[in-house]
Amino acid sequence: MRKLFVWSVVCLFAAVMVSLAALGGSTSRADNLTQEGCMNQWLFNGLWRVDVTAVEPYMNGSQQTGWQVTEVWRNGTNGQLSPSDSQIQDQTLELGSGAITAKESSIGALSMGSVGNNSFAPAGQYTYKQIFYSNTLDPSNKPKGLLITFNGTVLAQLNKPHFSTPKYNFHFNLGCVATGAAAQAQGGSNQVAATDGCLNQWMSNGIWKMRVTAIGPNPVGAAPKDQFGWLVTQTWVNATNRGILTDGLNDQGTKFVQTHVTDEFLVTQSGNNASSANAVGGLRLTNKPGYDWPPGSDYTFSQLFVWSPFDATDAPVRLLVTFDDKTQNALPGLPHYKKPADFRIDLTCTK
């Protein structure tokens, strides 16, 4: 009888150890804040749609020093937003044994900053490679999962867009690839209502008239290998019979009144987008000499768009110009926008 009892305990212990081993090797995250997915599957938390498309070695010459994960992010809202606005936290790459966090190294922190600080256009997309670097990397210790987290507690206290689900964190099992309906679910983003146009075509919304006349490399004349941005040359005109400003302020009493211009976004062939806010000085429309815009006055400038990592072969195809028409049109006695107020300019056609 004693032998039978001992044997039963041994069997039970072995079963428990097998279960623990299975749990230790699992890439599942059983908590109330995280939703699960596979590679090539969109996950959505009401603000951000994220998809993981590739996991590759990160090389320093002939030596592997980390892993790089290709992530596609989409702004799932109808307003301008950055992941830092949503309180994004450090990403974690789970390995067969142990884990690497993105911010363990300066290069990992830099790549996280490229997405975290990127101002996404409404429904805008950004694709980048998140680097996980380790001085003691074992290439045979393969990635198993990717965890992307946000501080939902802090976000709930801020005047920023909030998550629509309590499971706002994302966990991707890198050992599975979605197919069929799972690969297509939640992948869309709302299209921004805007007036469409082409290069050299005047656009107007009742307050501002503007057109894009040229697009070229930054620095001017740089070869693709030396290029680190794009310059979009444009002319703006005050189309009202009032003195106006570009922002939400007034000047000289009410001689020059607000119009709530918000931002410009350059969209590339791959679907990536970059905000004018990424460049030092932001939207250069505000640099007009004298600041004020008398009726009929105009200003021509070249807007810089930069992002990292920059790929000069990913050519720009659209410029989205946005205005806060909701706020502006609620103000009595001021010029109001015709709808749609925003402009979507196709940089591949000319008028």
Q: What pLDDT is stored for residue 78 in this prediction?
A: 84
Residue 309 has pLDDT above 90, yes or no: no
Residue range 320-332: mean pLDDT, rounded: 96
Q: 271 or 189: whose pLDDT is higher? A: 271
Question: Long-range CB contacts (< 8 A, 24+ apart) of 279-288?
Answer: 279/229, 279/303, 279/304, 279/305, 279/306, 280/304, 283/246, 285/236, 285/246, 285/261, 286/246, 286/247, 288/246
**% of the chain exceeding 70 in pLDDT:** 90
Q: What pLDDT is stored for residue 13 in this prediction?
A: 40
Chain-centroid distance of CA 42 in Å reads 15
Confidence of residue 11 (pLDDT cuts 50, 70, 90): very low
The single residue listed with the structure tokens 């008398």 is: 294
Residue range 265-281: mean pLDDT, rounded: 90
Confidence of residue 19 (pLDDT cuts 50, 70, 90): very low
Q: What pLDDT is stored for residue 193 in this prediction?
A: 86
Domain 29-184 and domain 195-350, same fold? Reply is yes
Q: What pLDDT is stored for residue 27 in this prediction?
A: 61
Q: 80 or 17: whose pLDDT is higher? A: 80
Instruction: Name the token pair of 135.
Output: 């001085």
Q: 78 or 109: whose pLDDT is higher? A: 109
Instruction: Name the token pair of 68.
Output: 């790089």
Residue 1 has pLDDT above 90, yes or no: no
Q: What pLDDT is stored for residue 18 in this prediction?
A: 36
Residue range 190-204: mean pLDDT, rounded: 91
Q: Say which residues have a Cβ less than 8 Å from residue 296's Cβ, sequence separation at least 6.
A: 237, 238
Q: What pLDDT is stored for residue 307 in this prediction?
A: 87
Q: What pLDDT is stored for residue 187 in this prediction?
A: 63
Which of the residue ranges 4-13, 130-139, 252-261, 270-279 would you say has the lowest mean pLDDT?
4-13
Instruction: Name the token pair of 235.
Output: 């002319």
Residue range 124-146: mean pLDDT, rounded: 95
Domain residue limits, the chain: 29-184, 195-350
Q: What pLDDT is stored for residue 4 in this prediction?
A: 44
Q: Say which CATH topology domain 29-184 has.
A: Immunoglobulin-like (2.60.40)
| Residues written for the chain | 351
Residue 69 has pLDDT above 70, yes or no: yes
Residue 12 has pLDDT above 50, yes or no: no
- Cα–Cα distance for residue pair 141/317, rounded to 1 Å: 41
Q: 20 or 104: whose pLDDT is higher? A: 104
Q: Say which CATH topology domain 195-350 has.
A: Immunoglobulin-like (2.60.40)
- Cα–Cα distance for residue pair 317/23, rounded to 1 Å: 47
For residue 250, give the amino acid letter.
Answer: N
- Cα–Cα distance for residue pair 258/264, rounded to 1 Å: 18
Q: What pLDDT is stored for residue 3 in this prediction?
A: 44
Q: How many CA atoms lie within 13 A of 75 on its CB side?
A: 30
- Beta-bridged to residue 142, according to DSSP, are none
Confidence of residue 28 (pLDDT cuts 50, 70, 90): low
Residue 282 has pLDDT above 50, yes or no: yes
Residue range 243-251: mean pLDDT, rounded: 97
- Cα–Cα distance for residue pair 341/209, rounded to 1 Å: 11
Q: What pLDDT is stored for residue 14 in this prediction?
A: 41
Average pLDDT, the chain: 90
Residue 234 has pLDDT above 70, yes or no: yes
Q: What pLDDT is stored for residue 29 in this prediction?
A: 66
